[in-house]
Structure 1
Amino acid sequence: MAQPKKAASIWDVARLAGVSHQTVSRVVNGSPRVAAATRDKVLEAIAELGYRPNRLARSLAGGAVESVTVLTADTSLYGPEAALRGIEKAARSLEWSVSISVLDPADTHSDADIIARLPRAGEPTIIMAHDEPGMRAKQVLLDTQPQAMVAIGPYTAEELAASPWLVGMDDGKAAAEATRYLLDLGHATVHHLAIPTSTGTFGGGKAHRADGWARVLREAGREVPAPVPSGWTITEAFKAVRPLVADPSVTAILCGNDHLALATLRAAHLAGRSVPGDLSIVGFDNTPFSAFTTPALTTVNQDFESVGRGAFELLRHRVDGAIPRPRPSWPEPELIVRETSGPPSPRS
C-alpha cells in the first residue's frame, strides 16, 4: 500500500527558498524584519510545497493566531466572490483565519453596528467597497482604525496611487477600451446598460465604467446616449434592457457586467435580433459562464482573485507597520473578444 505523502516542513521551505528556517518563521509570523524580495521567495516556496504551519504549536508557543474580517454586502456577485477566494487562499497559506460579515443593503448601518461586527477592536479588516454599505463601512473604519483596514473597489489609477489603503483595478479605463473597440468596428455609437454606482444610484456617486464609456464617446464626437439603469440581477437587467434591444437603431451595447450581458443576449433573441449581426454585446468581468454562452460573450477580464490576494498582502503590511513596500500588482483588465461583437449590419 502506498505510503501517504509526508507533509512539507519548515526546513523544506527554507531549503527551497535558500534561506534559514528562522527566516521562514519570521515570514510566517508576519515579522516586518524581512526584505521584500526574501519574503516573496519564501511565500513562493510555501505555495509550491503546500506548507501549512502548525497553528496549535504557534499558539502554545505564545505566537499570535492571526485573523482577518471581510465586510461585504453581497457574496453572490462574481467580483466579490472571486476576491474572497483570493483573500482566503492568501490567508490560509499563512494560517490566518477568515471571517465574513455581510452588510445588508436594505439596512441602515450605524457606526456602532459596523464596529460591532468585528470580533475585537482593531481587528484587521478588508472591506468590499463597491456599493453603499461598503462605502459607509470604509469611512467608519478609516476614521477609527486606519492602519488595520484596506478597501477593495473600483478606483481610478489616480485614486489608487494617492491612497495606501485602496486596492482595485481601473475599470473605467477598461470600459473605455471596450467602447473604443466597438467604435472601431464601425458602430455609430455605443449604448450602456449600467450597474448601480457605489452610492446605490445612477445619477451620482462612483460610476467608473459608465465614466470610461462616456468619455470615449465624447472624445470621438459621437452621441452619448442616456445610460439605461439596471440592478445587479439578471431579472432586473432583462426588464430594463428589453426596450433598448427592441430599437433597431441600437447596434452596440456595453453591459455593466456579464450577468447584464446575459440578460441582453436573451432579450435580443426574443426580439428577433441576431448577435452580432444586428446587435453587438460586450460584457464585463469574464465570469466562468461567459465563454459558454451561445454565441460566446465578448467581455472584459478582471482578475478579482489576484485583487483579493493583493488586498490581504497589503493589509498584513499595514498591520505590521513596516517600511512601505511597492503596492501589490496584478494583471490589467483585458478585453476578451469572442463571438457577440462584430461590425454593424449594412442595413442598420
Structure 2
Amino acid sequence: MRIVLATDAWEPQVNGVVRTLTRTIAECQAMGHEMEVIHPGQFKTIPCPTYPEIRLALGAEEEIRERLRAFEPEAVHIATEGPIGIATRRICVEWKLPFTTSYHTKFPEYVSARFPIPVQVGYAYMKWFHKPSGRLMVATPTLRDELESHGFKNVSPWTRGVDTELFNPALEPIYAELGGADWPRPFWLNVGRVAVEKNIEAFLKLDLPGTKIVVGDGPARADLEAAYPDAKFLGARFGEELARCFRDADVFVFPSWTDTFGLVILEAMATGTPVAAYPAHGPIDIIPGSNAGVIDDDLQKACMACLDLDRATVRAYAERFSWRACAEEFVQNLKPYPEAEKTRFWRRLRRLARTRRRAA
C-alpha cells in the first residue's frame, strides 16, 4: 500500500513515540509498503511553549493538501494530536477520506501537569480529535480499557517492539568511562525526557543504597540537578552508548504515571536489567508475571525486589517483542479505501483541484 503517516513528533526529538514511528516505518518499507511521512521538519515551525525542543508546524495545511494529492495514499494514519495532526484530520474529514489515529501520550495529564487546564478538558479535546478515526490504536489493554471508559470508540491494539541486537547483555560497562569508577553500587538508572510529566523526582527522592543515574535531557534537568546533587545526570545518550547505560545498571527505575507504554522498559530488559515501576499504564501490562521486573505502589520496595531477579530471565522475556510484529499489527489496523473506490476518489479530487486552479 501507499501509506501516509502524519506526525508532530519526529527527529531530532528523541522519545518513545519517535522510535516507535521510525521503526514501524522501516519495517513497513521492508514489507513492501510505500511510506510518505508528513512531519515538522518539512515546514516552518515555532518552539512549543515550556518545551522548546519540540517544534510546532503552524499554517501547514495547504502544503499537506498538496502532499496528499501528489502521493494519492491508500491509507492515512495520524499519529499525534498537534498542529500537523489537526490539519491532516481536517483534510481527511473534508474529503471523506478514511484515516486511523493512535494514542501515544496521556495528553490530558501531560497538559494538566504543565498548564492550569483540567484533565477533563483535555479528554474532551482528545475525544473530539479521535472521534472520526476509523480505528484508534493503543499500546496496551489497560489503556484501551481506560479510553473506552472515557467514551472512546474503535480502540484497537498496536503492540511495541525492541531492537534486541542493539540492546543486549554482552555490552561493555560504561559508567567508569563517564567518571563513575568510584560510584557505589548498585546503580539505579532512569532514562528519558527530563520533564515534569515523567515524575523523575519520585525516583530521586527514594532512599536507596548506591548511585542514582539519570540519562536524558529536558526542561526540568537544571532544577533537578540543583535539588539532588548526589544523583548523576549524564545528559542524552544515543545508540550503543545508550544501550551500554542500560546494560551497566543494576535496576532500571520507571516512575512515570503518564506514559502509555514506555519503550525504555523493553530496552532495559533486553540488556538484562530488571525494571521497577509503579502500576501505571505500560508497566502494569508488561511486567506482572514476567520475572523481568516488579511493580508496586511503593517504588522503593519494587526497586529492592528487582535486585533478586535473574538477568538471563529478564533478557529472555524481552526477546518476545519484535518490531516486525509491531509493524504487521499497524498495517492490519489501517483502513484503506476499497480498490474500486480508490481510483475514482483521486480522479475526482484532481478534477476539483484543476477547477479551483482555473478559477483562481
TM band (smaller chain): 0.3 to 0.5
Structure-1-length-normalised TM-score: 0.38
Q: Which protein shows a greater Rg? A: 1
Structure-2-length-normalised TM-score: 0.37
